[in-house]
Every structure is written in C-alpha cells, then in structure tokens.
Amino acid sequence: MPDERVGGPVAPGDADRSTEGTGATGTTGASGTDPRTRPGRRALTLSVSLLTTAALAAAGLVLPVPYAVNSPGPTLDVLGEHDGEPLITIEGAPTYDATGELRLTTVSAVGGPGYPASVLDVVVGWVRPDVLVQPAEDVYAPDLGRDELEEQNQAQMTSSQEDATVAALTQLGYEVPAVLTITAAVEGSAAVGLVQEGDVLTAVDGVPLPDYGTLVEHLDQVTPGDTVTLTVTRDGAPVEVPVVTGEADGRALIGVYIDPAFDLPVDVTIRSEDIGGPSAGTMFALGIIDALTPEDEADGAVVAGTGTISVDGRVGPIGGIRQKLSGASRDGASWFLAPDANCAETVGHVPDDLRVVAVGTLEEAYDAVVAIGAGDAQDLPTCTADGPSDASAA
C-alpha cells in the first residue's frame, strides 16, 4: 500500500537516505523532514513579505515627521518635593507647613528642535482630544536649534522664578529694592534715540524709583500718549529724558526694556531644572506666600493652575491650557486657576471633576485659594466663551 504521507519524488542518489531511521513504514523527505510539514515556496514568500511589511510598518511608526505634538505633562506640588528635595526652599524668614497642594501644570512637547515627533506620536495625538498636533513650522522658527530652544526655556523659567519671588514678597508687604537698568528702547517707540543701553532709571516725573513697583504704580496713573520725564544716570551723571508714552492693553508704557536687579530681603530657591518656560510663575508665587504665612490656605484641597506672573502681580496668558487642564484632572486636582486671558480656550474642555477659577492678579489667585480652603468658593469667577464671569451670575 502506498504511503499517503509522501509529498513528492525523492531526488536521485538520496533514495537510501530517504528511509534511513524510519522503520518499515516511515518515510521522510530528502532533508530528513516530513514532506507534509515543509513550507511551500509560495507560503515562504508570503511569510517573508508579511514580516518585511510588518518591519517596515513598525519602522515607519517611529520615523520623524514635521509635526509638533503637545500632550498633558506632569504636575508638581509647589508645596511638596521634587526629586527628593523641597521644590521651594526659603531662608531668612519663618516658614509654615501646609496640608493642601498647589500644583503647577506643564505640557509635554515633542516635535521641536532635537525632539522629533514620530508617526505614532501624531496618530495618537489625532485620536486623543487632550493632545494638540500642529505643523512644526507653525510653532518653531525653522532656524531654531535644540540648544537655543533649551536656553530660551531655561532663561524664561529663571526670570519667572525671580518675578514670582518679587511679586510674592511684595504681596506680603516686604520692600524689594531694585536697580532699574535700561537695556534697549522698544523698536518703534518714542524712546528710540533718547535712551541708551546702560542708563539707570532713577525717577519718573520727579518721583524716585526705589523699586520696580513704584514705576508701575506711577505709570498706571498716566494716560497713554502723555509725556513723562525719565531721570536716568548716564556715565555717572543724571540726565532728564522726556518721552511720549505708548499704550498696551490700556496702560501707558515708556517704551524701554528694563533689566531690574533686585535686592531680595528673603532668600528663595526654586528647584525646577527639568521644566522650562514662564507659565509656572503664578503657582510659584502662591507657593512662596503659602510657605511664609501661618494660615493653611488650601486646607487640604488640591488646587492646580497656570499663568505667568509679573513683578507687580499681574497674571498673564500661557499656552497649552487644555493640556494642562487634563493633566491637573489626571493628578487629582479639583480646582484650576486659569488666567483671565485664557478663559475662552477652556470652554468645552474642562474635565467633569475640575472647576476652573478665572484670575487676573496674584491677589485674586491668593484669595481664590483661601476661599477654596475655607469651603466658600461658590462665588468665585469662572470662565465663559466671553471671558471671566461671576459664578453667582451664571
């Protein structure tokens, strides 16, 4: 009886080997394997093709593409620790413990110089509602390098920390003396050709300027377009410089860039080496105030937030508000402090377990934290498509 397992003829010269070790009825192919289990040429070709296709597809997913992808980044409690060390350390004044959390929020970004986005990053970003995908050219200058980007981010963070410290100490009633050195005139302003790099601004309209806050307070009383007289020290001698003020957001500006050198009455150190940009300023300032006051402002509540801060306590707009809302919710926050200017961007993107409070100044942000901690937050302003709105009027 023929053996039905035979799959094909035996090659000449291999007949003896084909039955070697099989016994009376066992039959093997020329290579010593059962012919029925030997893959055909077509199957082998198909397998190789599939493996090649899979390998190419996998490689394609990690290939860099010209897109910038922003997703929710980590949040950090400014009242807690970072890498095993306090995020904020203060020397020269008593500090106090807190039971709540004040969490700064961040955006994780890929697609910038030195940090290319992959196809997988982009595909995931298109699917997730809390991820923003944009052409990289719309976000980064084409000639911007990785080192330059990191330097910019670190410089912004350093400036933000200093501004937060000055704003917080000023809010608490400390005097923060400063030397106001002019670095340049703003292009297109009336100050061009009148001030010089290195001029030290000492007075405006005869009002001495011992600190930055005095300058801001005086200009708040000036109508844009009016002329003010700057007194500067140039080459060791006083010089008076009349300047026609400009305008931005309804405020009078003198049209100069100032590099203030502050003499801080309290030594504040903020650890944030792996975070860049200026958007944590408001939360840093709140953390400093909380640490320097005996009140337990948040009183157990988890409050997240964002916003730049100026030395005079103005909260400014930031990028990535929607990603930061998602990150705050993920990390357990129940409240979120958002800059007034970002209010419209939050509408329709606030997680169900998060309540947004609109703030325009450090004082408003601090008052909001106190109200939240006290359980009296029902009347705090929230955000609408038209901007901040009182919750009681909504």
> CA 283 to CA 135: how far, in whole Å?
30
The pLDDT of residue 14 is 40
The pLDDT of residue 154 is 80
Per 3-state DSSP, the chain is made up of helix, strand and coil in percentages (nearest 5) of 30, 30, 40
Chain segment 112-171, per-residue pLDDT in tens: 887 888 888 899 889 999 999 999 888 888 887 878 877 877 888 888 999 999 999 999
Token code pair at residue 341: 């200017």
Predicted structure pTM score: 0.79
Mind telling me the catalytic residues?
279, 324
Region 65-90 average pLDDT: 92
> CA 388 to CA 359: how far, in whole Å?
8
The pLDDT of residue 49 is 58
Chain segment 165-189, per-residue pLDDT in tens: 999 999 999 999 999 999 999 999 9
Taking the CA atoms of residue 281, residue 363, residue 178 and residue 270 in that order, the dihedral angle to the nearest 10 degrees is -30
| Domains by residue range for the chain, with CATH | 15-61 (no CATH), 73-105+151-172+265-393 (3.30.230.10), 178-262 (2.30.42.10)
Assign 82 a pLDDT band (cuts: 50, 70, 90): confident
Question: What's the chain's average pLDDT?
Answer: 86
Least confident of 72-86, 146-160, 309-323, 364-378: 146-160
The pLDDT of residue 2 is 38
Token code pair at residue 357: 């409070």
Chain segment 206-248, per-residue pLDDT in tens: 999 999 999 999 999 999 999 999 999 999 999 999 999 999 9
Taking the CA atoms of residue 387, residue 327, residue 361 and residue 292 in that order, the dihedral angle to the nearest 10 degrees is 160
Chain segment 237-259, per-residue pLDDT in tens: 999 999 999 999 899 999 999 99
Query: Quick check: 20 pLDDT over 70?
Result: no
Say which amino acid occupies 28: T
- DSSP structure string for 334-357: SEEEEEGGGHHHHTT---TT-EEE
The pLDDT of residue 173 is 95
